Chains A and B, each alone.
Chain A
């Protein structure tokens, strides 16, 4: 459990980090290290240099409302997301889900930017950000660009970040005031990754669903949205939730592993989607 040898640089600006990462494609940015360090200790990841962003917390750890957007600095830790008054008020789904990540130690070290950059399809954060139509501000040598999180997540542990690019900020459009939300994380132990998780945002009017967003964790190579379920729910009433949820596994390609095989994941996706959408609907109505 000793990593392969590596160099270490603690940077004092994002520009410096971007330059280091650009000149050495084997270098890796270190934020909370909650995924990277275990992989290094197993020698499954062998970065040439760790570019430590820890000194940038002063400028990159924040949650603030900017008009109809909530902006979250990339180095904001899960625990701070979970207890953020702004998020609890405006985006309660994300605050709640941050409290379910890993264990307390992970939540006090791991960051939202790190979780997004790691791009684990079982990740809670990426799934919820997709459900919320979040965008990601990327810092590179040539300045900044902003893309949808769906464009960022390419495949299993793979993003569209280019060499020398870092995630600087997560931006979330604030959902309507009276939306309903729910998240069901199915796992065998409190600290486990989700076997399957489902996120839902439901907006309703007069007993009908005006809009639904449904995200799935661990049902494919990236965090997914279930377009089929969302379409089936649009304009429907609560009675149609079970039928819509039957579509949850369509278009997914879950893996088989020790916790569940692909068929069982599909089964879970259907059951959990029904329950999660129902819970979000009830919350929207209540």
Chain B
């Protein structure tokens, strides 16, 4: 029996749970000086001058540096946006968000650096503040006068005006998908040392190779002269896919002052300047017939990019790609605009554009269902893409012909999605059955009839998301050591996903060796020549398949060696995967072990391979949140959360469930609790975990997870990835549940987070409307 799909405990955990991991700040670097950044307390201001002499004279201070010292050119916006909006590595003449770094203090100890940073005096000349992305559109206040506009980017696909005009029912709603923080337990951090012109850069990252490329380009050095190492990484959630200036400057400072330096971000700095996620203002318009057929859907997106266009404009394109969700809707239009505001930059966070798409369409479907008086399950059943309709091309993009001259990037940004495989109706039916949906509805009816203060809400969300988005290749190297142990070298490294276990399982399955005899090595650019990010739920489809194919090639090589040793025809030699021995078919008594063959190969039983990624995959599922809402206090308690998730092949249910648990928790958190909040002056009000409310186990029910496995046809393992499914599905499920609890009282919508005050306000507004 194959080990794949069985519950294997994470081999990482004994170490992580006993003596603990070695995270960036745990590294013992006795010679390193400490960097602390001086940050702007103002959201938008001209810098008239920076007085550093007091700080420079303070105890232990090695250097105090400002933008004038930084001699490397800023990088242009990463995906889209004019170079006029390029972010300087250190703010020079203008600060554009509260928390932007304006000076660097380097000292012998971290405490000395923190103390000296207080002595740096910055003279600010305030400029008008812009925290509202909708207000940014009028260009009355400009962040980049030389750009002439706050608009970073705009796109349109589809036109549904006529289709909407023909619909019997049309519902519109403005929806705020609020700004939130990924809040990885380990904040950002980096350490840099140069030796003989070569940089060793240690960083808490989601990908050492992409970081190496960014560093080499920004610092103007050859790729070979940069080595990047990731120690244990305590979570990334998309925020550690790109270097922020504070990280890159660590390498620059080390070169500039000729000394090893290190930096660890504080929690407040992470909330202030580490980058935020989501931050869209959406307007949905959904139209259909009175009998439940959805005919047209329009999504307008205003994407808040924050002060500098980093990943945010790209997020709007992903929202566009997935706007249609799981539904067979003939007419789809998406209009996206990204704008800059005087707030921290918006970057990728778990789901990155897809939860925003799911939140919009799933809320829209409920609004439509409520308007026509049909149950949300029934409307979904009538409109989902049929199980036999795959592969399915959405109406959310432009179809490019073979003769169209389009840059690959533009093609990726504007192409429709091609859903590889799916069984949405099956997932919905399974969810309704597993959750006891009908009896929950009956319970809801009973409570409504009794009229008590605590009402029951059922929130459905069907989701499909895109994973393995970025085309290319994934390398893997596999070697059999003289003692028969196997080493797997990879260019992509984890942040808590359990890769060491998962890849060892795949190698074990293919090679017939024990999981504990496979060592997986990653997190160092010296280990292998290239690699990618661990991001976008891509790893099993890409790294997993790379490991599987490499193992297959290794078996092929070993069969040839075994044939020679056994004096047999290669075609007759087989691998017994139970015992890990090669023998002639039907004659298992004379066999060669991996150890024998490693010796026969003279210590060179090695395969270097690159797996070609064939395209994107589309995991899907159906989630149900059951909440109790206290209509007097507005308080919401999650009573049950039932999930049916289908991510194709699951290698290890233990690690897959871990991903789903975390994703659901973060989805529930956005729906109920979390919000990055600025005051009108651009001051961040949520700069500690006392004010920024991450969710804990105490607020969550036990998750009821059910799994389906509809294999992907486009990769050998048939895997789709499950790292983000939880956030994509759970967020709208919980929001819909809160609204559902109040729908009989006239409430149609509550923005996230569905706070007690918002719930009570929505009830009061509905009451006022009813009596008006």
A, B assembled together:
yes
Residues of A within 8 A of B (CB): 1-2, 4-5, 38, 42, 186, 188-193, 195, 258-261, 264, 267-268, 271-272
Do A258 and B677 touch across chains, with their CB atoms under 8 A apart? Answer: yes
Complex Cα spacing A178 to B675, Å: 45
Do A260 and B115 touch across chains, with their CB atoms under 8 A apart? Answer: no
Do B677 and A189 touch across chains, with their CB atoms under 8 A apart? Answer: no
Give the dominant DSSP class at A's interface. Answer: loop
Extra contacts, 13 of them, besides A2-B110, A188-B673, A268-B756 (Cβ < 8 A), are A38-B688, A188-B756, A189-B673, A189-B695, A189-B696, A189-B698, A190-B696, A192-B693, A193-B690, A258-B691, A260-B757, A268-B633, A271-B633
Tally the A-B contacts, defined by beta carbons under 8 Å: 55
Residues of chain B contacted by A5 (CB below 8 angstroms):
111, 115
Contact of A1 among B268, B632, B696, B760 (CB under 8 A): B268
Residues of chain A contacted by B266 (CB below 8 angstroms):
1
> CB-defined interface of B651-686 with A at 8 Å, one 1/0 digit per residue?
000000000000000000000110101000000011
Complex Cα spacing A244 to B633, Å: 18
> CB-defined interface of B58-75 with A at 8 Å, one 1/0 digit per residue?
000000000000000000
Do B699 and A189 touch across chains, with their CB atoms under 8 A apart? Answer: yes
Residues of chain B contacted by A42 (CB below 8 angstroms):
268, 688
Distance from A152 Cβ to chain B, minimum over Cβ atoms (Å): 25
Residues of chain A contacted by B755 (CB below 8 angstroms):
188, 259
Complex Cα spacing A2 to B116, Å: 12
Distance from B263 Cβ to chain A, minimum over Cβ atoms (Å): 13
Distance from A154 Cβ to chain B, minimum over Cβ atoms (Å): 23
Give the dominant DSSP class at B's interface. Answer: loop
Do B677 and A191 touch across chains, with their CB atoms under 8 A apart? Answer: no
B114 at the interface (CB under 8 A from A): yes
Do A264 and B757 touch across chains, with their CB atoms under 8 A apart? Answer: yes
Residues of chain B contacted by A261 (CB below 8 angstroms):
757
Chain A minimum-CB-distance residue to B691: A258
Complex Cα spacing A268 to B633, Å: 6
Contact of B633 among A38, A189, A258, A272 (CB under 8 A): A272
Distance from B670 Cβ to chain A, minimum over Cβ atoms (Å): 14
Chain A minimum-CB-distance residue to B688: A42
Among A186, A192, A193, A258, the one with the most B-chain Cβ atoms within 10 Å of its Cβ is A258
Chain A minimum-CB-distance residue to B669: A189
B21 at the interface (CB under 8 A from A): no
Do B688 and A190 touch across chains, with their CB atoms under 8 A apart? Answer: no
Do B693 and A188 touch across chains, with their CB atoms under 8 A apart? Answer: yes
Chain A minimum-CB-distance residue to B692: A258
Do A195 and B756 touch across chains, with their CB atoms under 8 A apart? Answer: yes
7 of the cross-chain contacts (CB-CB < 8 Å) are A1-B268, A38-B690, A186-B635, A186-B756, A258-B677, A261-B757, A268-B633
Distance from B33 Cβ to chain A, minimum over Cβ atoms (Å): 15
Complex Cα spacing A161 to B739, Å: 49
Residues of chain B contacted by A193 (CB below 8 angstroms):
690
Residues of chain A contacted by B115 (CB below 8 angstroms):
4-5
B430 at the interface (CB under 8 A from A): no
Distance from A135 Cβ to chain B, minimum over Cβ atoms (Å): 31
Residues of chain A contacted by B760 (CB below 8 angstroms):
264, 267
Complex Cα spacing A267 to B691, Å: 22
Do A190 and B698 touch across chains, with their CB atoms under 8 A apart? Answer: yes
> CB-defined interface of B98-112 with A at 8 Å, one 1/0 digit per residue?
000000000000110
Residues of chain A contacted by B114 (CB below 8 angstroms):
2
Among B111, B632, B672, B699, the one with the most A-chain Cβ atoms within 10 Å of its Cβ is B632
Chain B minimum-CB-distance residue to A192: B693
Distance from B448 Cβ to chain A, minimum over Cβ atoms (Å): 20
Q: Are A189 and B693 also in contact (CB < 8 A) when A258-B686, A271-B632, A272-B633 are? A: yes
Do A190 and B757 touch across chains, with their CB atoms under 8 A apart? Answer: no
Chain A minimum-CB-distance residue to B36: A2
Residues of chain B contacted by A272 (CB below 8 angstroms):
633
Residues of chain A contacted by B87 (CB below 8 angstroms):
none
Chain B minimum-CB-distance residue to A267: B760
> CB-defined interface of B750-767 with A at 8 Å, one 1/0 digit per residue?
000001110010000000
Question: 10 tightest A-B contacts by CB?
Answer: A190-B698, A1-B266, A264-B757, A271-B632, A2-B114, A2-B111, A260-B757, A189-B699, A271-B633, A258-B691
B706 at the interface (CB under 8 A from A): no
Report B678-729 residues with CB < 8 Å from chain A CB: 685-686, 688, 690-691, 693, 695-696, 698-699
Complex Cα spacing A281 to B286, Å: 51
Residues of chain B contacted by A268 (CB below 8 angstroms):
633, 756
Distance from B110 Cβ to chain A, minimum over Cβ atoms (Å): 6
B398 at the interface (CB under 8 A from A): no
B267 at the interface (CB under 8 A from A): yes
Complex Cα spacing A98 to B754, Å: 29
Report B552-604 residues with CB < 8 Å from chain A CB: none
Contact of A258 among B267, B685, B696, B698 (CB under 8 A): B685
Report B620-640 residues with CB < 8 Å from chain A CB: 632-633, 635
Distance from B680 Cβ to chain A, minimum over Cβ atoms (Å): 14
Distance from B77 Cβ to chain A, minimum over Cβ atoms (Å): 32
Do B635 and A191 touch across chains, with their CB atoms under 8 A apart? Answer: no
Q: Are A186 and B673 also in contact (CB < 8 A) when A1-B266, A1-B267 are? A: no
Report B183-234 residues with CB < 8 Å from chain A CB: none
Distance from B371 Cβ to chain A, minimum over Cβ atoms (Å): 29
Complex Cα spacing A106 to B653, Å: 35
Complex Cα spacing A186 to B680, Å: 28
Complex Cα spacing A93 to B699, Å: 24
Report B80-129 residues with CB < 8 Å from chain A CB: 110-111, 114-115
Residues of chain B contacted by A258 (CB below 8 angstroms):
675, 677, 685-686, 691
Chain A minimum-CB-distance residue to B109: A2
Do A186 and B633 touch across chains, with their CB atoms under 8 A apart? Answer: yes
Complex Cα spacing A2 to B114, Å: 7
Complex Cα spacing A5 to B58, Å: 14
Complex Cα spacing A258 to B635, Å: 15
Complex Cα spacing A258 to B178, Å: 14
Residues of chain A contacted by B677 (CB below 8 angstroms):
258
Distance from B547 Cβ to chain A, minimum over Cβ atoms (Å): 40
Do B633 and A190 touch across chains, with their CB atoms under 8 A apart? Answer: no
Distance from A278 Cβ to chain B, minimum over Cβ atoms (Å): 12
Residues of chain B contacted by A1 (CB below 8 angstroms):
266-268
Distance from A46 Cβ to chain B, minimum over Cβ atoms (Å): 11
Complex Cα spacing A81 to B691, Å: 28
Chain A minimum-CB-distance residue to B695: A189
Chain B minimum-CB-distance residue to A41: B266
Residues of chain B contacted by A264 (CB below 8 angstroms):
756-757, 760
Complex Cα spacing A259 to B115, Å: 33
Do B699 and A190 touch across chains, with their CB atoms under 8 A apart? Answer: yes
Residues of chain A contacted by B111 (CB below 8 angstroms):
2, 5
Distance from B253 Cβ to chain A, minimum over Cβ atoms (Å): 19
Among B633, B677, B691, the one with the most A-chain Cβ atoms within 10 Å of its Cβ is B633
Do B756 and A191 touch across chains, with their CB atoms under 8 A apart? Answer: no
Residues of chain A contacted by B688 (CB below 8 angstroms):
38, 42
Contact of A191 among B632, B672, B698 (CB under 8 A): B698
Distance from B507 Cβ to chain A, minimum over Cβ atoms (Å): 41
Chain B minimum-CB-distance residue to A186: B633
Complex Cα spacing A190 to B699, Å: 7
Distance from B758 Cβ to chain A, minimum over Cβ atoms (Å): 10
Report B368-416 residues with CB < 8 Å from chain A CB: none
